[in-house]
Amino acid sequence: MSNPEFLREGSAVEDCLHPDRIVIGADSEDIAIRVAGLCTPLAVPTILTDAPSAELIKYVANAFLATKIIFVNAVAAVSEAVGADMHDVVLAVGHDKRIGHGFLSPGPGWGGSCFPKDTKALIRIVANAGYDFRMLEAVVEVNQQQFARVVRKVEELLDGSLDAANIAVWGLTFEARTDDRPDSPAIEVIRQLVAGGAKVRAFDPTVPAGPALMDGVEVVSTASEACDGGGVLVVLTAWDEFKWVDLDGVVSRLRTANVVDASNVLDRPALLSRGFRHRGIGR
């Protein structure tokens, strides 16, 4: 029997109590019906199927969402190339009820505990079955390229070189409202910054100041402290509290007023009015 979960980190309780659907896969119809009866109080669509189909539903859902994120990141690159505003593009596109606004937010790439393993698992499953899932393989590859695109934005603001640069980073977790860092896009971007010769001072609400995460990275206790002497501020996780940081204080602490907002969480007009050179995703 299979009863896959569809819980997001940071909102698992909400997702458990208010799921979009229940999926139950079993060889026995009687068992499937009995398990479905346990879910009756939730009053949501319930799909009764066989176990292989139930497992595939889980993988396909996450692979599709990963693909949607990669598509919107690619559109962000197109928006930058033609001078369009990605915010307006996704706002209008999302009003199409066939598409919706969910997972249409460009960013530094996807990571975490589900998308990386589920996309790779689906690729392996279908390969073993004799199907070449090149499209999903490309999704994984393009996601890796997105990390490098963020790094290039930092390099542009540093006149092409990361060597000996001091960089402030806000956000270490793979998304807000979780303390999960394995397979975090933020960590991968930081690795690439350090590999290029930069030194990083990082802040995340869930990570205490103390021992470095890796050579060249110092974790500090406040967002403002991370900015001390930085040549570029890089925002890698969309924590709401970053929206309310005193930008005048940030300017005074940075060596140069440069920002790469890879999560598009900051107020761009407010940044520009304070003299920041700004690079977002799709803006």
If you compute the radius of gyration of the chain from its CA atoms, what whole number of angstroms results? 21
Q: Residue 195: which domain range?
A: 147-280
Q: How big is the CA angle at 103 (ends 153 and 156), to the nearest 5 degrees?
A: 5
Measured distance CA(13)–CA(9) in Å, rounded: 9
Task: Give the span between the Cα atoms of 270 and 248, in whole angstroms.
Answer: 10
Q: Phi and psi at residue 94, in whole multiples of 5°?
A: -65, -20
* Residue 191 belongs to some domain of the structure: yes
Q: Which residue from 258, 250, 255, 262 is spatially nearest to 192, judged by alpha carbons?
A: 262
* SS3 state of residue 164: coil
In a domain, 65, yes or no: no
CA 260/CA 151 separation, integer angstroms: 9
250 occurs within a structural domain: yes
Tokens, residue 144: 């890796």
259: domain CATH number is 3.40.50.720
pLDDT, tens digit (0-9, with 9 covering 90-100), for 12-70:
888 888 999 999 999 988 888 888 888 888 889 999 999 999 999 999 999 999 999 99
- Is 59 within a domain? no
Look at residue 159 and tell me if it is in a domain.
yes
**Catalytic residue at 227?**
no
What angle do helix axes 185-195 and 134-157 make, rounded to 10 degrees?
50
Decide if 153 is inside a domain: yes
Structural domain includes residue 80 = no
- Which listed residue (16, 39, 114, 227) is catalytic? 114
- Report if pTM > 0.75: yes
Do residues 151 and 210 lie in contact, with contact meaning Cβ atoms separated by under 8 Å?
A: no
At 134-183, the pLDDT tens digits run 999 999 999 999 999 999 999 999 998 999 999 999 999 999 988 889 89
